[in-house]
Chain A
């Protein structure tokens, strides 16, 4: 078990540029989540996959954000036309499926800084 892996660890970019982050979940986990976390706040849910299907997406999520999990393994999160307010830590988590909920295992995150 190598844990959840995210890259890059840090991304600095100019406002208006597109960025893409990658998440490799724990291999046997079929659920994958993306969160955004800002200083002093809890993780904010962005979207959720079960295998390759995107089953839930936050209503607060701008259409500049898109996520994919094409083969049900790794996932990518893309932000188009970045804005200052996108600066945050982007966390990925994975879990097993289960009716009553399973623990989520988090990666170390990608810290995005918009200049």
Chain B
């Protein structure tokens, strides 16, 4: 079945350093969504990418969708303590309604 792999599982950074998480799908995706889950909270929608090669920015966050629509990345520039949480990608195949979720990348700010 369709799978979405997300790496790394954890990333420890100093405040002010950059953070990147990557997702790879076993099949072509019709679109991909990104969510953030704060500790103890529920996933909150960040953005959706639909077009091949699409790049979208939200302040310090940059989201990319690969040319083949099988991979995606999220890059955060100059992390802040408010960025702490787990970032999930969730991809949708062409033939169904369900989102297939990655396992998430947990962003940890070193004290």
Q: Which residues of A contact B (CB under 8 A)?
A: 31, 33, 40-45, 48, 50, 55-56, 58-59, 91, 93, 100-101, 103-109
Contact = CB atoms under 8 A, between A and B. Distances in A.
A40 to B, nearest CB: 7
A43 to B, nearest CB: 5
B103 A48 contact: no
Contacts of A55: 97
A45 B95 CA distance: 15
A89 B90 CA distance: 18
Contact of A41 (B30, B31, B104): B104
Contact of B48 (A41, A45, A58, A101): A101
Given A103-B48, A106-B44, A45 B31 contact: no
A104 B99 contact: yes
22 contacts: A31-B97, A40-B103, A40-B104, A42-B102, A42-B103, A43-B88, A48-B98, A55-B97, A56-B97, A56-B98, A58-B98, A91-B43, A100-B30, A101-B99, A104-B33, A104-B43, A104-B45, A106-B43, A106-B44, A107-B42, A108-B41, A109-B42
B96 interface: yes
B65 interface: no
B30 A45 contact: no
Contacts of B41: 108
A104 B33 CA distance: 9
B99 to A, nearest CB: 7
Nearest to A58: B98
Contacts of B43: 43, 91, 93, 104, 106
Nearest to B4: A42
Given A104-B99, A106-B43, A108-B41, 9 more contacts: A40-B103, A41-B104, A42-B88, A42-B101, A43-B43, A56-B96, A100-B31, A101-B33, A103-B48
Interface in B1-42: 1, 6, 9, 30-31, 33, 41-42
